[in-house]
């Protein structure tokens, strides 16, 4: 199997990519990975100086020239047709992981480094899978790791690309290698505090919203019943969603916001917490969905035109994939 290649990139130089790589390599090596580190996007190097032995070997036609000591080696080659990076990757086939510093235009998975003093806003080029930063509360749609959380970043890389249930090359983890559905094995993960917040809305006629607000629906307290329904749905998610894990939920909070204009609707929010080995995104989304369905059921006698819409994950915390928050 070809090694995984990941590029560490940033909007500009001076963000500490080299230092980050220097700290990350031993953490990955401790997990049993054979790691190569390469410098990308450079136009020349000082190892192959004109007149020196390796330069003379290359001029004589050697495909690869190099130097060795009893413990180390260095190889220099020329690959004008395929490019130096492609040639290096081909020579490193027996390794597990190649970390490349730089090369933002690469099609490889990328980890972006964002430093508040240098580039406080992420560039987010294509194929970014995570951001490493010292900027507090940075909001992006990929996992975020603090600059000092080297162990967390190493765990993220290892789990995503090298664990049996990991996301190698973007594979969907709820399918095995034969394409059959499966429940992901999370027994090897640590129990951590995890949290998810989801929102959605149900649009209705102004008269319907007014009756809900005044508590005049024939079936009773609409929002009170919907709140209980959301909590029950959260606890039943493992039974409703085929590949979701049954969880011992730590807490559920449900909020409603009645909006009269410009659109008459009820906004629903559900926050779920758990101490476990897997996240609670599905629980939060299920809670919102069932709360909206309950409101529909209790109001449908007078308003069958209601629309349930815009159910989405707002925020996720905890776990190796880090902190996610949807952009406004």
* pLDDT for position 328: 64
In this prediction, residues 222-226 reach a mean pLDDT of 95
pLDDT given for residue 91 in this prediction:
72
163 closest CA partner among 189, 129, 192, 130:
189
167 catalytic per annotation:
no
Structural domain includes residue 185: no
Report the pLDDT value the prediction gives residue 173, as an integer from 0 to 100. 55
Residue 175 lies in a domain: no
Residue 230 lies in a domain: yes
Q: Give residue 82's Cα distance to chain centre.
A: 32
Rounded Cα–Cα distance for residues 125 and 104 (Å): 7
Q: Is residue 149 part of a domain?
A: yes
Q: Is residue 85 domain-shared with residue 196, that is, in the same domain?
A: no
77 and 137 assigned to the same domain = yes
Residue 78 above 90 pLDDT? Answer: no
106 with 163, same domain: the answer is yes
Query: Residue 225 phi/psi, 5° resolution?
Result: -70, -40
Where in the sequence is the domain holding 13, given as residue range(s)?
4-170
What tens digit of pLDDT does each residue of 278-320 get?
889 999 999 999 999 999 999 999 999 999 999 999 999 887 6
Per the model's pLDDT, the better-predicted residue between 321 and 71 turns out to be 71
Q: With a cut of 80, say whether residue 82 has pLDDT above it.
A: no
Q: Inter-axis angle of helices 281-299 and 222-240, to 10 degrees?
A: 140
Whether 187 is covered by a domain: the verdict is no
Sign of torsion, CA 96 99 105 111? Answer: positive
Asked, as a colleague might, if the bond just before 262 is cis with ω within 30 of 0, I would say yes
Q: Do residues 130 and 212 share a domain?
A: no
Residues 306, 207 share a domain: yes
Residues in the chain, how many? 328
Residue range 229-288, pLDDT digits in tens: 999 999 999 999 888 888 889 999 999 999 998 899 999 999 999 988 888 999 999 999
- Position 172 scores a pLDDT of 47
Note whether residue 66 is domain-resident: yes
Q: Residue 72 belongs to a domain with what CATH number?
A: 3.40.50.300
Based on the fold, state whether residues 108 and 235 are members of the same structural domain. no
159-216 pLDDT, tens digit each: 888 875 454 444 445 555 444 566 666 665 667 788 999 999 999 999 999 999 998 8
Same domain, 245 and 301: yes
- Residues 173-184 as b or e (16 or more Cβ within 10 Å = b): beeeeeeeeeeb
- Both 158 and 60 in one domain: the answer is yes
Query: Which of 167, 255, 297, 303 is labelled catalytic?
Result: 297
């Amino acid at each position: 199997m070809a090694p995984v290649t990941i590029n560490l990139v940033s909007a500009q130089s001076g963000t500490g990519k080299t230092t980050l790589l220097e700290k990350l390599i031993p953490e990955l090596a401790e997990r049993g990975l054979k790691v190569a580190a390469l410098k990308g996007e450079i136009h020349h190097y000082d190892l192959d100086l004109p007149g020196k032995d390796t330069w003379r070997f290359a001029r004589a036609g050697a495909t690869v020239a190099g130097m060795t000591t009893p413990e180390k080696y260095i190889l220099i080659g020329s690959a004008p047709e395929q490019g130096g990076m492609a040639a290096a990757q081909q020579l490193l086939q027996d390794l597990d992981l190649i970390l490349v510093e730089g090369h933002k235009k690469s099609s490889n998975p990328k980890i972006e480094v964002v430093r508040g003093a240098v580039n406080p806003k992420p560039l987010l080029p294509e194929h970014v899978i995570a951001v490493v930063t010292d900027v507090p509360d940075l909001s992006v749609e990929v996992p975020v790791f603090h600059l000092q959380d080297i162990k967390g970043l190493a765990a993220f890389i290892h789990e995503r690309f090298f664990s049996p249930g990991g996301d190698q090359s973007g594979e969907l983890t709820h399918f095995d290698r034969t394409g059959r559905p499966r429940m992901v094995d999370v027994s090897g993960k640590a129990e951590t505090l995890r949290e998810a917040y989801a929102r959605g809305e149900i649009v209705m006629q102004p008269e319907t919203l007014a009756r809900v607000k005044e508590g005049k629906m024939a079936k009773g307290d609409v929002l009170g019943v919907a709140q209980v329904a959301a909590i029950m749905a959260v606890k039943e998610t493992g039974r409703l969603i085929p590949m979701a894990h049954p969880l011992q939920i730590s807490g559920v909070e449900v909020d409603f916001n009645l909006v009269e204009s410009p659109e008459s609707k009820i906004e629903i929010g559900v926050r779920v917490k758990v101490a476990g080995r897997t996240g609670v995104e599905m629980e939060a989304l299920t809670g919102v969905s069932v709360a909206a369905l309950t409101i529909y059921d209790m109001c449908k006698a007078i308003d069958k035109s209601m629309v349930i819409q815009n159910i989405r994950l707002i925020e996720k915390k905890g776990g190796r994939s880090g902190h996610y928050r949807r952009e406004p």
